[in-house]
């Protein structure tokens, strides 16, 4: 097994710290929806750490995925003006929730690229389209997790049909931006 580098330990510690802090915050508030999400995020931290040992994700991808987890916890944990950060309007056309979906599925698509890259001869246009579809599929999986949360805990703040569709749109935008990023990085 290869030696784990200092930055990798820092990233892992960063994830553990924010997950522990938000677990206590959500437990104190009896916010069972986000307690469930802390378990889901913790699972993915371990899953990504294990895959990282094999696929050696860039520090950019590891940092982005870690920030995505933190942004998600902040979205449900920070309350201002009697509403969670997820409901906060960043711009007239962009809520915090939409930004987190775009950001997250940008990095989920990059993550997928790193997993597939050793098996690719080249990154053709077809591969880029396939990568965008993978990112969109991961976004759909995220929406299924949100749906399960609603079924288990009907009083969640997930939102209705419009929220789900906006999530899917911003997941898709994030995935498309990721494949554009990949193509631009390969050209440079």
Distance CA 92, CA 48 (A): 34
Average pLDDT over residues 118-125: 92
pLDDT at 65: 98
Residue 79, classed as helix, strand or coil, is strand
Instruction: Please check the confidence at residue 64 and state whether its pLDDT lies above 90.
Output: yes
pLDDT at 154: 72
The 10s digit of each residue's pLDDT in 140-188 is 999 998 888 788 877 766 678 888 999 999 999 999 999 999 999 988 7
The 10s digit of each residue's pLDDT in 90-109 is 999 999 999 999 999 999 99
Distance CA 121, CA 83 (A): 49
Closest by Cα among 172, 115, 96, 114 to 140:
172
Domain extent listing, the chain: 6-187
From residue 24, give the alpha-carbon distance in Å to each of 32, 102, 120, 179.
11, 27, 43, 37
Question: How many other C-beta atoms are found inside a 10 Å radius of the C-beta of residue 69?
Answer: 23
pLDDT at 1: 66
């Amino acid at each position: 097994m290869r030696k784990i580098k200092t930055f990798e330990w820092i990233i892992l510690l960063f994830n553990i710290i924010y997950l522990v802090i938000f677990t206590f915050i959500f437990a104190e508030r009896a916010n069972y929806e986000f307690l469930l999400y802390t378990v889901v995020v913790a699972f993915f931290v371990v899953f990504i750490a294990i895959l990282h040992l094999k696929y050696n994700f860039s520090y950019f991808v590891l940092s982005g995925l870690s920030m995505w987890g933190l942004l998600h916890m902040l979205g449900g944990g920070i309350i201002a003006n009697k509403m969670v950060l997820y409901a906060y309007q960043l711009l007239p056309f962009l809520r915090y929730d939409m930004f987190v979906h775009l950001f997250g599925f940008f990095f989920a698509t990059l993550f997928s690229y790193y997993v597939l890259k050793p098996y690719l001869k080249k990154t053709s246009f077809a591969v880029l389209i396939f990568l965008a579809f993978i990112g969109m599929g991961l976004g759909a999986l995220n929406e299924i997790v949100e749906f399960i949360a609603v079924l288990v805990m009907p009083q969640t703040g997930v939102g209705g049909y419009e929220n789900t569709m906006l999530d899917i749109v911003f997941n898709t935008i994030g995935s498309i931006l990721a494949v554009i990023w990949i193509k631009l990085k390969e050209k440079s």
